[in-house]
Amino acid sequence: MVSRVIPVEPFDLVIFGGTGDLARRKILPGLFRRFCAGQMPPEARIIGAARADMDGAAYREMVAGAMEEFGGGFTCEDKTLRAFLDRLDYLAIDARGDKGWAELQEKMKGKDRIEAYYFSVSPALFGDLAERLQKWGMADKDARIVVEKPFGRDLDTAKKLNGTLAAYFNEDQIYRIDHYLGKETVQNLMAVRFGNMLFEPLWNAQYVDHIQITVAETVGVGGRGEYYDKSGAMRDMVQNHLMQLLCLIAMEPPARFDPDAVRDEKLKVIRALDPVEPHHIVRGQYQAVPMDEADHPGYRTAVGDARSRTESFMALKVHLSNWRWAGTPFYLRTGKRMSARSSEITVVFKDTPHSIFGEEAGRHRNVLSIRLQPNEGITLGVTIKEPGPGGMRLIDVPLDMTFAEALAGEAGEQVDAYERLIMDVIRGNQTLFMRGDEVEAAWTWTDPIIQGWEARNDVPKPYDSGSDGPTDSDELLRREGRAWRGVAP
C-alpha cells in the first residue's frame, strides 16, 4: 500500500524571515518535499520576505543552496527543483517600517486562494507584522498566521503576545507551532491509545505505577548559546514539548478527533497539574570531560558566561490531580549533551496483586515503551517462564515492534514534522497546533517552578557530557524504589 497524497488547495505562503536559519533548514526543504510528493498544486506561490536586499533570482539561488545543504540526502529530479523554484518569489521588507509592504499588498491582491503568513522571525516582531498585515489590508478573516516558538518566556509575556495577535486575528486564524506535535510518532500516541482496546482500560492510576517521559539530546547548545542561556531546558523543552507529550499520554479520550475537542482535553491535563515540590526538581548543567574539551566545551564555555546558572538538564516528578491519575507520578527528563539521542515514553505497570509463583520467581512488571526517536516503535515487556528445566523461574521478554520494519513497503515516505504542519495550515486544520489558552495554562504551571528556584538561588548540578544527567536525577527515582529506563544506546 502506498500512502495517498491529497493535494492541498492553491495557496500563497509568505515566509517572513524567509532568509533565516529556520526557513533554510526546515520550512523551505519541507515545502520542496511536499512539492516533489505532488501535494502542492502548481499554482501555489511561496514568497520569502526578509530584511536582506535581493531579487527573486538571488533568492531562488539561495533556496537551491539550502536544498542541497539541508535536504538530508533527499533528491528529486532537477527539473522538479526548477519547477519548485519557479514557485518562489522574494521581497525585501521591514517588519518595523513601510519598506516592501506596498509591493507585498500588490502581490497578494485579488487572488482567490488561501493566504498564509509564516512569522519565522524573532517573537519581538510578531506584533509589528500583525499590525502591518492589517494596515495593508492583508489580515482578512480567511488569512492564517503561523507563529514559531518561543511563545513568551513566562505567563505575562505569553498573555501579551496572545493579546497582540488577538487584536488583529481570531484564534482560528493563529497556528502556534510546536514541531513536536507534527512528528509521526507523537501522533501515533493518540492512535495507540484511542485506536486499541487493549491499553485504555489499564491506562490509569489503578494499573500504572508511574510514567516516564525522556527527551535526550547528544548535542550541546552549539551556536545558539546566547539564546539558550536566556531560556534554559525548562522554557526551551519542558514548558512546550514535554508538556505536549504529557498531555497526549495523560488526556481523556476526546469525543472526536477535531481541533477543539483534542485541545480541550489537553488543556484539562495542564490544569490538573499540581505545583511541583522543590525536592522533586533537578536542574543540571553539562561540563566538558577531560581530553574532549576542545571538541565539546562545557556549557559555561559554550555560552561564554563562566557564572551562568541556566540549566541544560531538567528532571521533574509531577502529579496530576484528577480521577484517572491521582497517585501515579510522572517523571519528566530532558537534557543536552546526554549519552544518546532519544525521545521515549515509558509506562510502568504495577505488580500483579499476588504472585502465585512465590518469592523466588522474582518481581516482574509490564513495561510499555513508546519510542518517538530514533528507531520509532513500541516495546511491551511481557513476563514468561524462563525456558529449561530450572523450575518456574520468570523472565521479562520484549514484544518489540519497530514501525519501520512493521510497515516496510507500506508506509511510504517519511514526512518531516514541518512538512506536515505547514500542509495542515493550508488545510486549515489546527489539531496539531497549540491554542492560546493551552500556552497560557502551561506558563501558569511553569512560572512558579522557575520563580521558586530563582528565589532559592539554585545552582544547577554539573554533569559530565555524554552521561545521563546529574546523579540527583537518578536519586529522584531511586529513593522511591524506581529507576530511569532507556537513553543509553
* End-to-end CA, the chain: 32
State yes or no: residue 434 binds ligand NAD (CB under 6 A): no
Cβ 149 to ligand NAD shortest distance, Å:
5
Cβ 398 to ligand NAD shortest distance, Å:
34
State yes or no: residue 75 binds ligand NAD (CB under 6 A): no
Site string for ligand NAD, 89-118 (x = CB under 6 A): ----xxxx----------------------
Residue among 22, 63, 116, 155 that touches ligand NAD (CB under 6 A): 22
Residue among 50, 249, 421, 425 that touches ligand NAD (CB under 6 A): 50
Site string for ligand NAD, 187-216 (x = CB under 6 A): ------------------------------
Cβ 131 to ligand NAD shortest distance, Å:
13
Cβ 219 to ligand NAD shortest distance, Å:
12
Give the chain's radius of gyration (CA, Å). 24
Residue among 8, 11, 14, 20 that touches ligand NAD (CB under 6 A): 20
Q: Which stretch binds ligand NAD (CB under 6 A): 48-56, 263-271, 399-407, 473-481?
A: 48-56
Cβ 49 to ligand NAD shortest distance, Å:
7
What span, in angstroms and rounded, lies between the C-alpha atoms of 202 and 380? 14
Closest CA to 328 of 337, 319, 336, 338: 319
Cβ 91 to ligand NAD shortest distance, Å:
10
Residue 443 half-sphere exposure, CB side, CA atoms within 13 Å? 19
Query: Toward ligand NAD, which CB reaches closer, 33 or 132?
Result: 132
Residue numbers 227-246 binding ligand NAD by CB under 6 A:
none
CA 441, 26, 342, 4 torsion: positive or negative? positive
Say which residues have a Cβ less than 8 Å from residue 354's Cβ, sequence separation at least 6. Answer: none
Q: How many helices (H) and strands (E) does the chain have?
A: 17, 15
Region class of 201: left (phi > 0), else alpha (psi between -120 and 50), else beta: alpha
Residue among 37, 52, 205, 407 that touches ligand NAD (CB under 6 A): 52
What span, in angstroms and rounded, lies between the C-alpha atoms of 193 and 389? 39
What span, in angstroms and rounded, lies between the C-alpha atoms of 49 and 117? 10
Say which residues have a Cβ less than 8 Å from residue 258's Cβ, sequence separation at least 6. Answer: 431
> In this structure, are residues 267 and 435 in contact, taking their beta carbons and an 8 Å threshold?
yes
Query: Toward ligand NAD, which CB reaches closer, 34 or 149?
Result: 149
Q: Which stretch binds ligand NAD (CB under 6 A): 30-38, 72-80, 120-128, 274-282?
A: 120-128
Cβ 432 to ligand NAD shortest distance, Å:
16
Q: What is the DSSP string of 314-330?
A: EEEEE-B-STTTTT--E
Residue among 75, 122, 321, 414 that touches ligand NAD (CB under 6 A): 122
Closest CA to 485 of 258, 211, 274, 284: 211
Annotated catalytic residue 241:
yes
Please pick, among 179, 241, 296, 319, the residue that the annotation labels catalytic: 241
Residue among 8, 12, 13, 19 that touches ligand NAD (CB under 6 A): 19
Say which residues have a Cβ less than 8 Å from residue 30's Cβ, sequence separation at least 6. Answer: 416, 418, 419, 422
Q: Which stretch binds ligand NAD (CB under 6 A): 44-52, 101-109, 278-286, 346-354?
A: 44-52
Amino acid at 23: A
If DSSP codes are grouped into helix, strand and coil, which group holds residue 226? helix
What span, in angstroms and rounded, lies between the C-alpha atoms of 133 and 41? 25
- Say which residue the cell 509575556 belongs to: 157
Cβ 129 to ligand NAD shortest distance, Å:
8
CA 280, 310, 181, 341 torsion: positive or negative? negative
Query: Toward ligand NAD, which CB reaches closer, 94 or 447?
Result: 94
Query: Toward ligand NAD, which CB reaches closer, 149 or 317?
Result: 149
Residue among 5, 45, 51, 131 that touches ligand NAD (CB under 6 A): 51
The count of residues interacting with ligand NAD (CB under 6 A) is: 22
> In this structure, are residues 438 and 261 in contact, taking their beta carbons and an 8 Å threshold?
no
State yes or no: residue 123 binds ligand NAD (CB under 6 A): yes
State yes or no: residue 31 binds ligand NAD (CB under 6 A): no
> In this structure, are residues 20 and 50 in contact, taking their beta carbons and an 8 Å threshold?
yes
Angle formed by the axes of helices 259-271 and 243-250, nearest 10°: 100
Cβ 93 to ligand NAD shortest distance, Å:
5
Site string for ligand NAD, 127-166 (x = CB under 6 A): ---------------------xxx----------------
For ligand NAD, which residue has the nearest CB? 20
Paired strand residues for 145: 117, 174
If residue 160 lies in a helix (H) or strand (E), which one and from where to where?
helix 155-166
Amino acid at 24: R
State yes or no: residue 120 binds ligand NAD (CB under 6 A): yes
What span, in angstroms and rounded, lies between the C-alpha atoms of 417 and 454? 34
Catalytic residues: 241
Residues that bind ligand NAD (CB under 6 A): 16-17, 19-23, 50-52, 93-96, 120-123, 125, 148-150
